[in-house]
């Protein structure tokens, strides 16, 4: 019994070395994993399981007990909250390298759903807590992510509270472009995996107003819509001016 266990374990180790998922992970430098050295990543990998999501599939419900945390490796997720009468606010889109569960304590405070087919690394909260105790750098990086998320949420407050529809859309497109770039992807034809409805619920608008805002930017020559889900930025400077960037 003991022998067979030991053999099984060593086989697992071998398989890991062959597969070593993390070592071949393309977005490792972006995610929390970057906090760990080459030889330390194995510890993370040993508590990790993989999870795939189809578009529109739900990962987490607001109010559910927070048992697992995640790191997105590919695809796109959305964080959303639904009001009692069906109104929805999307509080953010997650891209590869982003971490899930930054804000939550005992329970999840938002719904999380896939916008595009997505792959995640999944960890039990307890395992991750242990690992963070062992590698303080991991916790440090998570804290860094949390501060960045807070800055982004505050930028969103400005956008939601004080920008006009076209300004909202312009700043949204620039945000997506900037994040694509920071994720080592081309920043110009910007892919929009989410629906107009998702964009509307992020910007605090209706789908019709979003659509009209796209049209305005297009007729002004600032963007080109290859199709509804791929935007080419033609005049970045003018788009930034519309977005009301350059504060004060």
Partner DNA sequence: CGGTCCTTTGATACAACTCAACGTATGTGG
Partner DNA sequence: CCACATACGTTGAGTTGTATCAAAGGACCG
Residue 2, exposed/middle/buried by CB under 10 A (0-12, 13-18, 19+)? exposed
Rounded distance, CA 58 to CA 56, Å? 6
Count the residues of the shown chain that bind a second copy, applying the rule CB under 8 A. Answer: 41
Rounded distance, CA 106 to CA 76, Å? 25
Q: Return the residues of window 4-23 that contact a second copy according to CB under 8 A.
A: none
Q: Binding to a second copy by residue 191, rule CB under 8 A? A: no
Q: For residue 156, give the nearest of 114, 85, 93 by alpha carbon.
A: 93
**Contacting DNA (CB under 7 A), which of 49, 58, 126, 197?**
197
Q: Binding to DNA by residue 19, rule CB under 7 A? A: no
Q: Binding to DNA by residue 231, rule CB under 7 A? A: no
Q: Binding to DNA by residue 160, rule CB under 7 A? A: no
Contacts for 213 with CB less than 8 Å, ≥ 6 apart: 165, 166, 168, 169, 205
Please, what's the largest Cα pairwise distance for the chain? 73
Q: Which does 215 bind (CB under 5 to 8 A by kind): DNA, a second copy, none?
A: DNA
Q: How far is the CB of 88 from DNA (least distance, A)?
A: 12
Specify the stretch interacting with DNA by CB under 7 A; choose among 28-36, 63-71, 130-138, 189-197. 189-197
Q: How far is the CB of 74 from a second copy (least distance, A)?
A: 24
């Amino acid at each position: 019994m003991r022998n067979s266990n030991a053999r099984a374990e060593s086989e697992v180790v071998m398989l890991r070395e062959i597969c070593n998922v993390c070592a071949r992970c393309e977005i490792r430098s972006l995610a929390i994993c970057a906090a760990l050295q080459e030889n330390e990543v194995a510890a993370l990998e040993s508590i990790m399981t993989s999870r795939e999501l189809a578009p529109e599939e739900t990962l987490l419900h607001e109010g559910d007990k927070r048992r697992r945390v995640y790191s997105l490796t590919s695809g796109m997720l959305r964080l959303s909250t639904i009001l009692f009468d069906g109104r929805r606010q999307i509080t953010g889109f997650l891209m590869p390298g982003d971490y899930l569960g930054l804000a939550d304590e005992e329970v999840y405070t938002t719904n999380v759903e896939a916008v595009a087919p997505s792959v995640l690394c999944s960890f039990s909260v307890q395992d991750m807590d242990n690992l963070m105790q062992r590698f303080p750098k991991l916790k440090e990086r998570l804290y860094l992510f949390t501060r960045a998320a807070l800055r982004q949420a505050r930028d969103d407050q400005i956008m939601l509270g004080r920008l006009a529809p076209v300004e909202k859309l312009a700043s949204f497109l620039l945000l997506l472009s900037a994040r694509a770039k920071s994720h080592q992807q081309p920043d110009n034809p910007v892919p929009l995996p989410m629906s107009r409805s998702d964009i509307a619920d992020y910007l605090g608008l209706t789908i019709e107003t979003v659509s009209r805002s796209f049209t305005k930017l297009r007729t002004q020559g600032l963007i080109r819509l290859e199709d509804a889900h791929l935007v080419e930025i033609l005049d970045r400077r003018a788009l930034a001016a519309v977005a009301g960037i350059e504060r004060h």
